[in-house]
Amino acid sequence: MITRSKLVEQLREYQIRYQHKYRALTVFSPKPNITSRADVAVAIFWAFVFSMLVVSSYTALYFRHFRLSFVIVCFGVFLPIRLRISRQALAKKRDGRLPLSM
């Protein structure tokens, strides 16, 4: 017989497995959990932007444009910090809601 506690346990296991599916992309996602293909696409876009900033910074260093390289590095550092702040704000906003009753 299926009991309520077994269902809750299965739900928790499913949620844990699903959360770790795109663990590497969560760094570049503006949402706390990646739940749809659109979230994956946004995370891949921000990862691509970050990698282009790293490459352009190295290129600027190669051509000895130190100020430009410094500005690009600042943008590269600012990007993951800003994404983390937006994830925390969305998580706080989501935690403010009342849980649904079973």
pLDDT at 37: 86
Arithmetic mean of pLDDT, 88-97 = 77
User: DSSP string covering 1-32, please?
Assistant: ---HHHHHHHHHHHHHHHHGGGGGGGGG-SSS
- Count CB-CB contacts under 10 A for residue 29: 22
pLDDT at 95: 66
* pLDDT over 70 at 96, yes or no: no
* pLDDT over 70 at 101, yes or no: no
pTM: 0.73
Q: Which pLDDT tens digit goes with each residue over 14-50? A: 776 666 667 788 889 888 878 788 988 999 999 999 9
* pLDDT over 80 at 1, yes or no: no
Beta carbons of 76 and 57 less than 8 angstroms apart: yes
Domains of the chain, residue spans: 24-95
